[in-house]
């Protein structure tokens, strides 16, 4: 299964206790959401506007059932 995500936002968060965190939020046309967080600005080359950068994801072993612990 292959999914294509478009970046919808990038945020740089700074705090005294956690340091600097970079966050990128992605969304697929099917409605899936993906949030990636890094200590480095890994997402600096991704653009939100005017053209959104794409992230291609291939899922090789998808979960078929939801297991709920009792």
- pLDDT tens column, 26-40: 999 999 999 999 999
What is the total count of domains within the chain? Answer: 1
Question: Long-range contacts made by residues 11-15, C-beta under 8 angstroms, separation at least 24?
Answer: 12/41
Instruction: Give the chain's mean pLDDT.
Output: 90
Q: Is the pLDDT of residue 62 over 80?
A: no
Any domain includes 65: no
Q: Is the pLDDT of residue 49 over 90?
A: no
Any domain includes 25: yes
The answer to whether the CB of 7 falls within 8 A of the CB of 47 is: yes
Q: In this predicted structure, what is the pLDDT of residue 39?
A: 94
Any domain includes 38: yes
Domain that holds residue 6: 2-58
Any domain includes 50: yes
Any domain includes 18: yes
């Amino acid at each position: 299964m292959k999914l294509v995500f478009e970046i919808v936002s990038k945020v740089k968060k700074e705090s005294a206790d956690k340091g600097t965190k970079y966050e990128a939020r992605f969304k697929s046309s099917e409605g899936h959401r993906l949030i990636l967080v890094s200590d480095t600005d890994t997402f600096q080359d991704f653009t939100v506007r005017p053209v959104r950068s794409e992230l291609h994801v291939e899922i090789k072993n998808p979960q078929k059932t939801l297991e709920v612990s009792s």
